[in-house]
Amino acid sequence: MRVFKFGKIIIESYKVLLGGVAIAIAAGHLLHTYSPRLTATVLMMVPLINGLGGNLGSMFGARLSSALHLGTIEPKLRGQEALQINLSALGILGGVIFIFAGGLLFGMNLIGGASLLTSLKASFAFLIAGLILTVLIALIALTAAFASYTRGVDPDNVVIPIVTSTVDLLGITCLLITVHLLGV
């Protein structure tokens, strides 16, 4: 029995990967546009939020794809214990990892000579941006997994590239918004 089809993998994947290139360029442009106004602390947060967000999104997206293939979840939001467990796990992991990373940023800022208030504001901006990003990750991964699966596209070929590409753009966006609102 042939489980994987080379042509199907290529056809389903290349469009998403090309779209990911466009999204990554948009994220880079956004960062470039605002970089002259950003502090070193804020710039240090960009790879951190995007890396953590990409990891969370990849884990959640992979679990969704596997669960859809195994039939343990269906492409609907209500009445699915396995989906609720996975969403809860994503929320808890997102909260814990962004609190931990925010705490490390706080310590690094203090050690680096930043004031207590500046360190607190930067860490809080990072935490809020990360929590917002975690919610967006859930929405993006669910939409990508359910939409691809119901259209006969293998979610294994598209969910993670969609999630990681959009997380790069949304991570920067969430961070820029929270940093601006908190005056970091």
Question: What number of CA atoms fall less than 13 Å from residue 130's CA on the CB side?
Answer: 33
Q: Is residue 1 one of the residues assigned to a domain? A: no
Range of the domain at 152: 12-182
- Asked if residue 108 is part of any domain, the answer here is yes
* Digitized pLDDT (tens) for each residue of the chain, 184 residues in all: 456 688 888 888 888 898 989 998 998 898 888 888 888 888 889 999 999 999 999 999 999 999 999 999 989 888 889 999 999 999 999 999 999 999 999 999 999 999 999 999 999 999 999 999 999 999 999 999 999 999 999 999 999 999 999 999 999 999 999 999 998 8
Q: Is residue 3 part of a domain?
A: no
Looking at residue 36, which CATH number applies to its domain?
Answer: 1.10.357.20
Query: Could you tell me the two tokens for 88?
Result: 């809860």
Structural domain contains residue 88: yes
Task: Answer yes or no: is 148 within a domain.
Answer: yes
160 close to 12: Cβ distance less than 8 angstroms: no
- 4: in domain: no
- Number of structural domains, the chain? 1
